[in-house]
């Protein structure tokens, strides 16, 4: 065999090997649902009014994390944490963008950023550098023009702009500058899934990262016409004369799931998650694709008025609060190397963990982050070592939350309220609903956790609310 033929064969072998390596890079589908509470998913909370068969099936094929947390009790900070792997304090996004910033309350919330800085390295940028086709579909809410998904590492942006809720509602016309209108009667959740399926099908021969951030189930609560009749009948069968509520500070927490319109939105979302999973199977991609399903904060159960959209079951309060109902979220991760699929993992995890986990699964050199790599838990069923988790929400919120912070270590959780300097302590093992403040009987634990919280806040450059010089208390 001549040297020329040998050279040609070697080149061909190299090209073949390179192509094989590219194809073997795992695809990633990250599904983020807006305001979906821990108890809104049936596999987490069997007593739920809602039905989520496709999400429950996804849990059977992967790992369901029973104590997963969002980085913040509202959306933009958590979305920034997912994108960067950093605590919201570090990227200076601690409130939904642009926030409410009331001027006639006892405290003035700190001024934080209204966009994710371009200097931050996003998960999309890292995957893009490694040859992934990257696509963002849905809700962005991390900045205006110049800070959109296409400016942060995504090759494609469909529907992502500065608004936190669908400006035209859930039916076309959408009034979305990044999404063309569909035919009359088209439902936004269906449309975003259609776009996702087109992207998957088009890129089935290349490694891809699809970040599907549904606008649902965020307000406005607009029923899915396809599913509403079923849940109206189910609502009638409950024979409820009055929906129970609990006073929460200046607000009210809903204690029962019964909203048919909201239930139909959950059903539409669940059905579309099923469509994504089925598309992966039809395209022969299910054996080489990681699917992550989660939410950006707890369900909207607490407001200044009664009858919020949902209830978070046994968990206290909801979106906007640092109690469990505001930060505990669904999380399911399924993929080709999951050991013992269908199992649950009870160790606390948080939004920042996705960044190092996805990079590791894609065999990309990770960056220093505030997250923990979950891949050993997924692929080796090893125990996760976690020290503590902490939250900082120094702003007022429409849920009746007042500025505060919280920290969890082991089963202990401390909450600090800045307006009245009140401190609460709970043991989540015996009291997951945070019904009994035990701070007075465990002063040593209060001192320990308060010191640790102060240390963490200082390390992450946390900003704090300040006294309002113009505040005039009402008589």
- Residue 12 — pLDDT band, cuts 50, 70, 90? very low
% of the chain exceeding 90 in pLDDT: 92
- Residue 383 — pLDDT band, cuts 50, 70, 90? confident
Euclidean distance between CA atoms 229 and 337, whole angstroms: 40
Q: Which of 1-5, 51-55, 421-425, 426-430 has the lowest mean pLDDT?
A: 1-5
Report the sign of the C-alpha dihedral through residues 332, 415, 461, 454, in that order: negative
379 within 8 A of 338, measured Cβ to Cβ:
yes
Long-range contact set of residues 150-156: C-beta below 8 Å, sequence gap at least 24: 151/118, 152/83, 152/116, 152/118, 152/120, 152/122, 152/124, 152/125, 153/122, 153/123, 153/124, 153/125, 153/126, 153/127, 153/128, 154/124, 154/128, 154/211, 155/128, 156/199
pLDDT over 50 (residue 1)? no
Q: What pLDDT score was predicted for residue 24?
A: 79
Q: What pLDDT score was predicted for residue 16?
A: 39
- Domain of residue 244, CATH code: 3.40.720.10
Name which of 475, 474, 409, 419 is nearest 447 in CA terms: 409
pLDDT over 90 (residue 18)? no
Calculate the average pLDDT of the chain. 94
In a domain, 415, yes or no: no
Euclidean distance between CA atoms 72 and 84, whole angstroms: 14
In a domain, 90, yes or no: yes
Q: What pLDDT score was predicted for residue 23?
A: 45
In a domain, 202, yes or no: yes
- Residue 475 — pLDDT band, cuts 50, 70, 90? low
- Residue 5 — pLDDT band, cuts 50, 70, 90? very low
pLDDT over 90 (residue 277)? yes
The reported pTM is 0.94
In a domain, 66, yes or no: yes
Euclidean distance between CA atoms 165 and 96, whole angstroms: 11
In a domain, 438, yes or no: no
The SS3 assignment for 293 reads: strand
195 Cβ contact partners less than 8 Å away, ≥ 6 residues apart = 137, 158, 159
The SS3 assignment for 371 reads: coil
- What are the tens digits of pLDDT across the range 210-237? 999 999 999 999 999 999 999 999 999 9
Q: What is each CA distance from 188 to 140, 276, 280, 381, in whole angstroms?
A: 15, 15, 21, 38
Strand pairing of 68-69 and 251-254? unpaired
Number of domain units in the chain: 1
Q: What pLDDT score was predicted for residue 163?
A: 96
- What are the tens digits of pLDDT across the range 261-273? 999 999 999 999 9
In a domain, 12, yes or no: no
Euclidean distance between CA atoms 269 and 279, whole angstroms: 15
Q: What pLDDT score was predicted for residue 93?
A: 98
Strand partners of residue 136: 157, 211
In a domain, 400, yes or no: no
Q: What pLDDT score was predicted for residue 17?
A: 39
pLDDT over 50 (residue 412)? yes
Q: Is 168 exposed, middle or buried (0-12, 13-18, 19+ CB in 10 A)?
A: middle
Tokens read off for 352 = 């920042």
**Structural domain range at position 203:** 26-386
- What are the tens digits of pLDDT across the range 92-124? 999 999 999 899 999 999 999 999 999 999 999
The half-sphere exposure of 454 on its side-chain side, counting CA atoms within 13 A, is 7
pLDDT over 60 (residue 6)? no
pLDDT over 80 (residue 148)? yes
Q: What pLDDT score was predicted for residue 182?
A: 97
Region 7-14 average pLDDT: 42
In a domain, 432, yes or no: no
pLDDT over 80 (residue 474)? no
- Residue 19 — pLDDT band, cuts 50, 70, 90? very low
188 within 8 A of 215, measured Cβ to Cβ:
yes
% of the chain exceeding 70 in pLDDT: 95
Q: What pLDDT score was predicted for residue 9?
A: 41
Q: How far is CA 321 from the centre of its chain?
A: 15
Cα angle 164, 213, 320; round to 5: 50
Euclidean distance between CA atoms 149 and 134, whole angstroms: 10
Euclidean distance between CA atoms 56 and 52, whole angstroms: 6
């Amino acid at each position: 065999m001549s040297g020329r033929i040998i050279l040609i064969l070697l080149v061909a072998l190299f090209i073949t090997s390179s192509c094989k390596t590219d194809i073997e890079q795992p695809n990633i589908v990250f599904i983020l649902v807006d305001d979906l509470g821990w108890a809104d998913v049936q596999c987490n909370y069997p007593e739920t009014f809602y039905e989520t068969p496709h999400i429950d099936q996804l849990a059977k094929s992967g790992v369901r994390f029973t104590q997963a947390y969002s980085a913040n009790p509202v959306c933009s900070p958590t979305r920034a944490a997912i994108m960067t792997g950093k605590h919201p304090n570090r990227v200076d996004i601690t409130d939904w963008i642009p926030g409410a910033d009331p001027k006639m309350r006892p405290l003035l919330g700190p001024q934080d950023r209204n966009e994710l800085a371009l200097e931050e390295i996003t998960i999309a940028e890292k995957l893009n550098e490694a040859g992934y086709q990257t696509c963002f579909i849905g809700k962005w809410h991390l900045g205006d023009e110049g800070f959109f998904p296409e400016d942060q590492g995504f090759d494609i942006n469909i529907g992502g702009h500065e608004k936190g809720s669908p400006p035209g509602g859930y039916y076309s016309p959408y009034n979305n500058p990044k999404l063309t209108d569909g035919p009359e009667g088209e439902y936004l959740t269906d449309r975003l899934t259609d776009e996702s399926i087109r992207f998957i099908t088009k890129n089935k021969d290349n490694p891809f990262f699809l970040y599907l951030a549904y606008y649902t189930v965020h307000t406005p609560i607009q029923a899915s016409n396809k599913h509403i009749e079923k849940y109206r009948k189910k609502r009638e069968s409950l024979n409820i004369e009055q929906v129970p509520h609990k006073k929460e500070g200046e607000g009210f927490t809903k204690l029962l799931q019964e909203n048919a319109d909201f239930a139909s939105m959950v059903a539409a979302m669940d059905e579309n998650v099923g469509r994504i999973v089925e598309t992966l199977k039809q395209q022969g991609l299910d054996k080489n694709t990681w699917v992550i399903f989660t939410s950006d904060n707890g369900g909207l159960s607490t407001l200044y008025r009664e009858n919020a959209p949902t209830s978070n079951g046994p968990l206290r309060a909801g979106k906007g609060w640092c109690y469990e109902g505001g930060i505990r979220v669904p999380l399911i991760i399924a993929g080709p190397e999951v050991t013992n699929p269908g199992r649950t993992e009870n160790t606390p995890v948080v939004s920042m963990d996705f960044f190092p986990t996805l990079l590791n699964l894609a065999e990309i050199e990770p960056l220093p982050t505030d997250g923990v790599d979950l891949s050993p838990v997924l692929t080796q069923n090893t125990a996760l070592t976690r020290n503590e988790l902490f939250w900082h929400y120094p702003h007022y919120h429409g849920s009746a939350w007042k500025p505060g912070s919280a920290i969890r270590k082991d089963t202990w959780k401390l909450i600090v309220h800045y307006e009245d300097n009140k401190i609460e302590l709970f043991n989540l093992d015996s009291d997951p609903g945070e019904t009994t403040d035990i701070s007075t009987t465990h002063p040593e634990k209060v001192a320990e956790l308060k010191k640790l919280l102060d240390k963490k806040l200082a390390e992450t450059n946390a900003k704090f609310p300040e006294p309002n010089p113009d505040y005039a208390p009402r008589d």
